[in-house]
Structure 1
Amino acid sequence: MTKIDIGKDFLVFLFVYLPPLIVFIRFLRERKRNNLVLVIISILYIIISLFTQNLIPFIFVLLNIRYLRSAESSYYSNAKNEYMLSFESNFNNKFTISNRLAEDYSRFKFSIKKLNLLLAIKYALQSYLITILISAVSTAIFSKMSIEPKQQEIVTWMSDMPLDKFLILIPVVIIFAPVLEEFVFRWLLFEKVFRPRIGVYLSAILSSILFAFIHFNLRALPILVCIGLYNCYLINKKGYWYSVFNHFTFNSVTTMVLLFEKLGMIKF
């Protein structure tokens, strides 16, 4: 493994794998869990993530969503009984992570039951048509500039691997990655970190550029920025699972094309 590969892996871990752990630990600290337990969880998370790719971060995203639901329930339960709380107690609890995120579970529709499948398919189709147009334009520009960007590494890697390993990797690409990356780039970075500080438009652009950059591929860069911007719109206006479904659709199409190619059903 070269220094460049190590650097890429470090950046992926920093921007994609680490954020779900940080949010999870903050929820646990709020619940006054033993510090030794938190250290052990963190060490195990880091070690296991190095060998399982998206699996453990994906699981921690689901745990964080569960904590968001719990935070909302707790917040409104306390609000109903607010007359029983002292001013000092309210002040001390004001800045807890649960209080700050109390409305996010409903605001961003983290309940998958809120997903309207037909509407999600409609948005995904619109998004895919846009990415096809962006792909055609970017390809023409690269060609005019005599630039021949390489295929995305994950695509090349999946193309070259045996069928049995490819089948095992499918859930990682089409399920774990969309759930994880939409949580990190759309909810955490776009909505919670950037948007309160620089506004909705700049935060959408910045988070989408980071999302595209972390895939380390010039050829896919315009498409990934486009998907990022569209998913910022979806999470902001429709909800988290709409952006996940759009991401899932894009990854699924690419993965199925590679699968059909391996099975000899299509040729390039």
Structure 2
Amino acid sequence: MFKLDIIKDVLVFSIVYVPPFLVFSKFWRDKKKSNLLLVLIGIAYMITCIFTENFIPFIFVLLNIRYLRHRDGPYEFDIRRFKFFKALAAVVVFYLITIGISITETIILSNFRVELKQQDIVTHMANMSLNKFLIMIPVVIIFAPILEEFVFRWLLFKKIFTKRMGVYLAAILSSLIFAVIHFSLNAFPIILWIGIYNCYLINKKGYWYAVFNHCAFNSVTVAALLLQKLNMM
């Protein structure tokens, strides 16, 4: 069990936390800044990620977005292009299909009498104290969506896979990686669906639409856990 946890941590670190720094380092070298300073920043980045989890990668994603807006123009990450009601309509469509997937999964598991445990982060948050839970709220509904949409949708889907295998295969592959890295058989179909739908959103509407949908999904889970905690109190 301990070895499995280490493998999970290494995979999350490598696939989710490292890419924002690699993008940052590319921009740093493009500006011809000090390589020694970049190494020192990298060491500090890796160490602080161990203790702060996704907070430092989230900060580096914001730095990367700021540089990208300056280098490529504001179009791709322009928050002014974001339309709230359009994003809300996209969330409604997403949830209607999500409910269908959830019902289908429940029926299949019931017929085969299979019980799967909840996603680790959900179990962890359900068992933590209310004070710690409140601290985790921005981590789950703000930091994680911005970080994960940058890594899985903008970097893997758009910038790496789409150029090599086309939009459809890129969406499937990046979403499979996204689902696998959450390490939950129970949540796998829903997380895979989030990935595919957010690939559509970032490709057709923009990065912030994918982030908004991800935030909305995480917010519903957090709200349900919070209500459960308040009722228990």
Match in the other structure for 2:17: 17
In the alignment, structure 1 residue 164 sits paired with structure 2 residue 131: yes
Tell me the CA shift for residue 237 of structure 1.
0.2
Which of residues 143, 149, 153 in structure 2 aligns to 1:182? 149
TM-score by length of 1: 0.85
Q: CA deviation at 1:70?
A: 1.3
Give the corresponding residue for 1:215: 182
Q: Deviations over 1:124-154 (max 9, x none)?
A: 1111111111011112112222221110100
Q: Which runs of 5+ in 2 are unaligned?
A: none
For 1:135 and 1:54, the matched residues in 2 are separated by 28
| Rounded Cα–Cα distance in structure 2 between residues aligned with 1:59 and 1:112 | 17
Runs ≥4 in structure 1, deviation > 4 angstroms? none
Partner of 1:264: 231
Counterparts of 2:209 and 2:131 in 1: how far apart (Å)?
31
Task: Provide the rounded CA distance (Å) in 2 between the counterparts of 1:194 and 1:120.
Answer: 25
Quickly say closer, same or farther: Cα 1:161–1:265, change in 2 above 3 A: closer
Decide which structure has the larger Cα Rg and report it: 1
Q: Secondary structure at the match of 1:218?
A: coil
Cα separation, 2, equivalents of 1:265 and 1:120: 34
User: Partners of 1:226 and 1:69 in 2: how far apart?
Assistant: 29
User: 1:78-97: CA deviations, max 9, x gaps?
Assistant: xxxxxxxxxxxxxxxxxxxx
TM-score after normalising by structure 2: 0.97
1:219 partner SS: coil
1:263 aligned counterpart, secondary structure = helix
1:1-268 pair list within 5 angstroms: 2-73=2-73, 105-106=74-75, 108=76, 110-264=77-231
Q: How many residues in Structure 1 have an aligned counterpart in Structure 2?
A: 233
- Pairwise CA distance, 1:265: 7.7
Q: Structure 2 CA distance, aligned partners of 1:124 and 1:9?
A: 30
SS of match in other structure, 1:12: helix
Q: Cα distance, 1:112 vs. partner?
A: 1.4
Q: Deviations over 1:3-32 (max 9, x none)?
A: 100100100011111100000000001111
* CA–CA distance in structure 2, aligned partners of residues 38 and 159 of structure 1: 39
Mark the runs of 5 or more structure 1 residues left unpaired by the alignment: 74-104
CA distance in 2, matches of 1:39, 1:176: 25
The amino acid of 1:10's aligned partner reads: V
- Alignment-mate amino acid for residue 9 of structure 2: D
Distance 2:72 2:166 in 1: 25
Counterpart of 1:45, as a letter, is: Y
Distance in 2, Cα, partners of 1:51 & 1:114 = 35
> Structure 2 vs 1, CA of residues 240 and 135 (structure 1 numbering), >3 Å: closer, same or farther?
same
Q: Deviations over 1:193-215 (max 9, x none)?
A: 10011111000000011101000
Deviation at residue 41 of structure 1 after TM alignment: 0.6
